[in-house]
Amino acid sequence: MRGEQQSAGHRGHASVADEWESTAEPAASRDFAGKRVLITGAGSGIGLATAHALARAGASIGAVVRSAKSEEAVRQACVMSPNVATALADVQDEAGFSAAVERLAAALGGIDAVVASAGISGPFGASVGEISAVSFAEVLNVNVVGSFLAVKAALPFLRQSPSASAVIVGSDSGFVVAPGMLPYVASKGAIRQLTAALSYELYEDGIRVNAVCPSVVDTPMSRRDLQQESFSDAEFPVQSAHDVANVICYLLSDKARTVNGVSLLSDFGYARRSSFPA
């Protein structure tokens, strides 16, 4: 959905790297050479696009995914990375997830940056009376608690990095609301405050924490939720996962060293439009 990341599947990944190469910048910078980046939700959508972009920029990639199929997708997308390590884990399992992060840190020799991209949309199109407490809590657990755990698990390694940073994938739904998305909207609103609080808590450690908050992104999950085979004829602006990955790369980079605690909207300016009929 809006600003989302991980889904049960993705388009045929055999040509995923070739597809992105056609939309990526002609000459990839090496801004992340020597950097080691942990990415959750790396198996598809925004997470996979970010892994690809960072690999092109020279980063070593530690990817947390949910399936062997997603592991292969990451490996194909990150062929330009000097080091790619993957681990199967669920952000809802703190012990298992933390152990996976430790294994990835060992494989990479440390962690300099985190991209918390794992997330779900939850019950889509459901009214208040149709949403169970269990399904509501699951969305909060994956989207909010999972993002917190991504930073927490990597914290011992981030503290050892001279230029550590983290980016959490939020959504414009943390700023505006739409019907039928109650748990999702609540979770993305919480992401904004989580980002602000983490940036304050970790300031003395020299760790920056920001969030990117995109509007509708063309990902497998968005297509499923909105029942779209393609967004080519959409009546609203749609960005690619690669567009969001570019913003994430900027926020992670030393070019954004003064940016901290920010939830950055990436929505073509729609959230700032007035409804006044003039």
Catalytic residues, by residue number, are 184
Residue 101, amino acid = V
Q: What is the token pair recorded at 259?
A: 């940016």
Residue 207, amino acid = I
Residue with tokens 């300031």: 203
Signed CA dihedral, 75, 77, 81, 85: sign only: negative
Q: What is the token pair recorded at 132?
A: 């169970």
Integer Cα distance of 249 and 51 in angstroms: 10
Q: Which residues pair with 265 in a beta bridge?
A: 213
Integer Cα distance of 134 and 126 in angstroms: 14
Q: CA-based Rg of the chain, rounded to a whole angstrom? A: 17
Query: Could you tell me the end-to-end alpha-carbon distance of the chain, in angstroms, rounded to an integer?
Result: 31
For residue 196, give the DSSP letter: H
Q: What is the token pair recorded at 131?
A: 């949403």
